Amino acid sequence: MPKIFENVSLKKLNTFRVEAKARWFTEINSEQELAELFADQQWQNTERLVIGGGSNILFTKDFEGLVICMNIKGIIDKIVHDDVFVTAGAGEVWNDVVTHCVDREFAGMENLSLIPGSVGASPIQNIGAYGVELKDVFHSCKAFDIETGGHLTFSNQDCQFGYRESIFKKELKGKVIITSVTYKLSTKPSLNTSYGAIATELQSRGIGQPTIRDISKVVSDIRVSKLPDPSTIGNAGSFFKNPIVSKLKCEQLLSDFPNTIHYCLPNSTVKLAAGWLIEQCGWKGKKIGETGTWKNQALVLVNHGNAKGSDIYNLSAAIISDVNSKFGVLLEREVNTI
Ligand code: EPU
């Protein structure tokens, strides 16, 4: 049975580095420990919060239930012809798995280098960056069914991946706990350099025939230059999703604001750049007390030191209101708020 602790500070367990306490707290190191935990009816009936790297969560108050920190480790490779199946425990750090794959020249994850967070969280919000989404390399995952105590396997299709969306955020929310994920990579790289900044950066470094390692390095460097390092400045990456609007709405916006950054999607919808919308409202790099938006990327809210979760939440509400007044576009938070 895993050890249960009471009144535990979560400050070091969330990348915003805000103070909040968990009424109960436990760390899970194996599937066996999960089964033992939920064999006890008390924990079946207690409100729960599963965390990995704590990189996509904002605590605005203490959590009165049980916080479960997933720490199941292990990375196993299986090479089948040109494919590589890499299975990682939910508690592995995402970027450690990326590095593992890049070092072995397993292709597919290099564009997702340096994203903060854990393996277990990676399918939940279908992490994505620089033209690649997790769904492009996701093969399957194993999860613990809290109600039955059974183990389930989800294929790529089962997960119903969308833009920062999956079944785990919808009907399976709170019902299953991901214990491991299998990624399908390739020993024959087909590199994705189409995302503007990558191609420009490779060119300026004089790299004509990039390797997986080159892409990983370039993506990491771009991220470092644009995004604050959570180990020094509290943040949770993009705080909002990029809003998706109808083609008609986009045309109206373009007539009022011809520079509106937009990307056409297949089904007559258009994705707008939330960072641009926020910047146009004058919020980029603005500091309000201990919180604010990042100087190089307005989509990232930061804790300059001693911000409370509620300060960051209030800032996000002010931004939503301003963007809505100016553009008639409602931003949706990407970060989970407690
Ligand atoms: N932009 C501005 N002002 C800003 C920020 C951005 O004008 O303050 C413009 C940029 O110049 C660019 C466009 O908006 O033309 C898009 O910006 P960027 O390429 O930086 O990407 P993003 O759409 O803001 C998304 C992901 C990031 C991911 C990057 C790179 C979401 C919510 N965010 O950001 O993911 O790293 O693309 O692929 O989709 C995360 O989810 O936490 C995250 C960091």
Task: Give the global pTM.
Answer: 0.94
Q: Identify the residue whose C-alpha is closest to ligand 1 atom 13.
A: 273
Cβ of 129 closer than 6 Å to ligand 1, yes or no, is: yes
Residue 61 banded pLDDT, cuts 50, 70, 90: very high
Q: Identify the residue whose C-alpha is closest to ligand 1 atom 7.
A: 276
Q: Regarding the domain delimited by 5-70, which CATH topology (the fold level of the hierarchy) does it fall under?
A: 3.30.43
> Which residue pairs from 130-136 have beta carbons closer than 8 angstroms and sit at least 24 positions apart in sequence?
130/192, 130/195, 130/197, 130/198, 130/219, 130/222, 131/192, 131/194, 131/195, 131/198, 132/108, 132/192, 133/161, 133/163, 134/161, 135/159, 135/161, 136/108
Q: Name the CATH code of domain 75-186 (choices 3.40.50.2000, 3.30.465.10, 3.40.720.10, 3.20.20.150).
A: 3.30.465.10
What value does the mean pLDDT of the chain take?
A: 96
Cβ of 238 closer than 6 Å to ligand 1, yes or no, is: yes
For the segment 61-65, the average pLDDT, to the nearest whole number, is 97
- Span(s) in the chain for CATH 3.30.43.10: 5-70
- 28-43 pLDDT, tens digit per residue, is 999 999 999 999 989 9
* Nearest atom in ligand 1 to 223's CA: 36
User: Exposed, middle or buried: residue 103 (CB in 10 Å: 0-12, 13-18, 19+)?
Assistant: exposed
Q: In 10 A of CB 51, how many CB atoms? A: 22
Q: Identify the residue whose C-alpha is closest to ligand 1 atom 2.
A: 276
**pLDDT surpassing 90 at residue 112:** yes
pLDDT score, position 252 = 97
Task: Please name the amino acid found at residue 300.
Answer: V
Task: Output the CATH code of domain 234-337.
Answer: 3.90.78.10
What is the 233 CA–ligand 1 centroid distance (Å)?
18
Q: Identify the residue whose C-alpha is closest to ligand 1 atom 34.
A: 238
114, 276, 294, best to mutate for ligand 1 pocket (most atoms within 8 Å of CB): 276
Cβ of 297 closer than 6 Å to ligand 1, yes or no, is: yes
The residues, ordered by sequence, that sit 6+ positions from 36 with a Cβ below 8 Å of its Cβ are 1, 2
The residues, ordered by sequence, that sit 6+ positions from 283 with a Cβ below 8 Å of its Cβ are 293, 298, 319, 322
- 197-226 pLDDT, tens digit per residue, is 899 999 999 999 999 999 999 999 999 999
Catalytic machinery residues: 164, 238, 334
- 241-298 pLDDT, tens digit per residue, is 999 999 999 999 999 999 999 999 988 999 999 999 999 999 999 999 999 999 999 9
**pLDDT surpassing 80 at residue 113:** yes
**pLDDT surpassing 90 at residue 195:** no
